[in-house]
Amino acid sequence: LPKNHAQTSSIDFEFDKQHIWHPYTSMTQALPAFGVVSAQGCELTLDDGKVLVDGTSSWWACVHGYSHPAILDTMQQQLGTLSHVMFGGITHQPAIELSKKLVGITSPKLTKVFLADSGSIAVEVALKMALQYWQGRSQSQKQRILTVKCGYHGDTFAAMSVCDPEGGMHTMFGDSVTQHEFVSAPQSRFDEPLLSHDLDEMRAKLISQHSEIAAVIIEPILQGAGGMRFYSPEYLIGLRKLCDEFNVLLILDEIATGFGRTGKLFAYEHAAIDGQCVEADILCLGKALTGGYISLAVTMCSDEVAQGISDSPAGVFMHGPTFMGNPLACAAACASLDLLAQDDWQDQIKQIERQMKIELKGAIDYPEVKDVRVLGAIGVIEMNSTVNTAELQQEFVDLGVWIRPFSNLIYIMPPFVITSAELTKLTSAMKHVAKGIT
Ligand code: PLP
């Protein structure tokens, strides 16, 4: 067991280890998990009473912190009224309210809302929409997806098929996930103009294969799990122009970046053409949609995409999960969006960004640190080589913080409501750990 776990813990760690799968773990060589008993604000309380400052927002989701009374109240009320009902042939006000809000805050072209149940499913839905759209436009040969390396879009089969082709999932599942086209990841950094060659490969691929390509999918501005790489908004502008030129749909996957994380409500807002944001034909949102209180994701699309799907031989969009439009999740999302609308999240993010830039800067001088970068409420220390996640996690817990490094990345994306003192605790721990790596 991790050394902070008291033998008297109320959590049955042995059962957990023997029977319960955690993300990306082995069931026979399971690494012990930490037991959390409660969470409040930006703090997680472990079973032994130790309190950790959370640097993860539980994987980008809990932007308002944990146990926020406004979201809890809304969910409790909803639970007592209508916790779930099938969405086939039935509608309800939480779904309508949420969809109204989403249509109102996303770019004007996005008018249709599909309420999915997780981020990966939102991506599946987006890919299916693109393929079915072209069937409806009598171009059913357009069935392949073009994307960039170092991308991450989820763990289900279609989502995996557009993840980084050099990652394990591709090599492991072979032909089932290798039918799509990849070009190099954007090289132009966020704060730099577009490198002149950066879109060349994309253009070349579109010139030769556009008649088979249904859509380009990309994470706007930040490639997350594929390397925490921030790229130039001009890349996105150029990509939109290429998609228009070659008659290919653009799918933006904002599942990690959506709802304020990069300093804009949506990351695509960093990229504007003549004062107008780059517009997706299809947009995927998830994670922070409900403030991290319950699973929900959405795929939004334009009227044109919806019309194409209606014109396809099936005539309807062929997707409809059991928990589609779950009212409890929709109500939580409405409460979370209301908080974003009231709160000064833009100032909060600016303050977090400013502080992280100052506090993390010095890490660049440590021997094994390759790069330090900050955008919005995301702070990254990139190491020269892969770190030992389990070992570092224990070190972070000993330092009183919850940070989960992966690959060669030590990074944080804290709740927006984090205090300056809590943030310093996180950045100090990051630096301490990065400095100790030799
Ligand atoms: N797309 C992006 C950009 C993500 O970061 C993730 C999750 O990390 C997903 C899709 C998949 O979301 P989920 O884990 O909710 O299925």
Neighbour-count burial of 335, counting CB atoms closer than 10 A to its CB (0-12 exposed, 13-18 middle, 19+ buried): buried
**Superfamily holding 13-64+344-436:** Aspartate Aminotransferase, domain 1 (3.90.1150.10)
Backbone angles phi, psi at 414, to 5 degrees: -70, 165
DSSP annotation string for 76-142: HHHHHH-S----TT---HHHHHHHHHHHHHS-TTEEEEEEESSHHHHHHHHHHHHHHHHHHTT-TT-
Q: Does 200 belong to an annotated binding site?
A: no
Listed in sequence order, the residues at least 6 apart from 369 whose beta carbon sits closer than 8 Å to its beta carbon are 363, 381, 382, 383, 384, 434
345 labelled binding-site residue: no
CB of 293 within 8 A of CB of 323?
no
Respond yes or no: is residue 24 known to be catalytic.
yes
Report residue 282 as tokens: 């299809």
In three-state secondary structure terms, 277 is strand
pLDDT for res 268: 98
**Contacts made by residues 101-106, CB under 8 angstroms, sequence distance 24+:** 101/334, 101/337, 102/285, 102/298, 102/300, 102/337, 103/300, 105/265, 105/337, 106/266, 106/283, 106/300
Residues whose beta carbon lies within 6 Å of some atom of ligand 1: 118-120, 123, 152-154, 219, 224-225, 253, 255-256, 286
Phi, psi of 314, deg, nearest 5: -70, -30
Residue 119 annotated as binding? yes
380 three-class SS: strand
Residue-level length of the chain: 438
Distance 255 CA to ligand 1 centre (A): 6
Angle, helices 345-360/420-436, rounded to nearest 10 degrees: 30
Active-site position among 24, 175, 274, 365: 24
Closest CA to 341 of 221, 252, 260: 260
**Residues carrying CATH 3.90.1150.10, the chain:** 13-64+344-436
Q: Which of 54, 164, 198, 253 is catalytic?
A: 253
ipTM of this complex prediction, to 2 decimal places: 0.99
* Residue 1 burial (10 A CB sphere; 0-12, 13-18, 19+): middle
Neighbours of 26 (CB within 10 A): 9
Q: Is the backbone of residue 172 left (phi > 0), alpha (psi -120 to 50) or beta?
A: alpha
- CA-wise closest residue to 411 among 438, 392, 436: 392
Euclidean distance between CA atoms 144 and 216, whole angstroms: 9
The residue from 66, 112, 149, 152 that is catalytic is: 152
Could you tell me if 105 and 341 are in contact, meaning their C-beta atoms sit under 8 angstroms apart? no
Residue 4's pLDDT is what? 47
Q: How far is the CA of 293 from the centre of ligand 1 (A)?
A: 16
SS3 214: strand
Concerning whether 287 is annotated as a catalytic residue, the answer is yes
Predicted confidence pLDDT, tens digits, the chain (438 residues): 444 444 457 899 999 999 999 999 999 987 779 999 999 999 999 999 999 999 999 999 999 999 999 999 999 999 999 999 999 999 999 999 999 999 999 999 999 999 999 999 999 999 999 999 999 999 999 999 999 999 999 999 999 999 998 877 777 777 777 788 999 999 999 999 999 999 999 999 999 999 999 999 999 999 999 999 999 999 999 999 999 999 999 999 999 999 999 999 999 999 997 889 999 999 999 999 999 999 999 999 999 999 999 999 999 999 999 999 999 999 999 999 999 999 799 999 999 999 999 999 999 999 999 999 999 999 999 999 999 999 999 999 999 999 999 999 999 999 999 999 999 999 999 999 999 998
| pLDDT value of position 8 | 55
Tokens standing for residue 148: 């960039």
Q: Which CATH architecture has domain 71-342?
A: 3-Layer(aba) Sandwich (3.40)
Instruction: Give me the sign of the Cα torsion angle 56, 62, 63, 64.
Output: negative
SS3 state of residue 307? helix
CA torsion through residues 262, 265, 268, 269, sign: negative
CA-based diameter of the chain, in Å?
Answer: 65
- Indicate which atom in ligand 1 lies nearest the CA of residue 156: 16
CA of 254, closest atom in ligand 1: 3
Expressed in angstroms and rounded, the spacing between residue 310 Cα and the centre of ligand 1 is 28
Query: What amino acid is encoded at 70 in this protein?
Result: A
Cα first-last separation, the chain: 26
Examine the residue annotation and report whether 253 is marked as an active-site residue of this protein: yes
Q: Is 354 annotated as a binding residue?
A: no
Using alpha carbons, select from 161, 177, 248, 238 the residue that is nearest to residue 211: 248
pLDDT on residue 200: 97
Residue intervals in the chain for CATH 3.40.640.10: 71-342
Q: Which two tokens stand for residue 269?
A: 């807002």
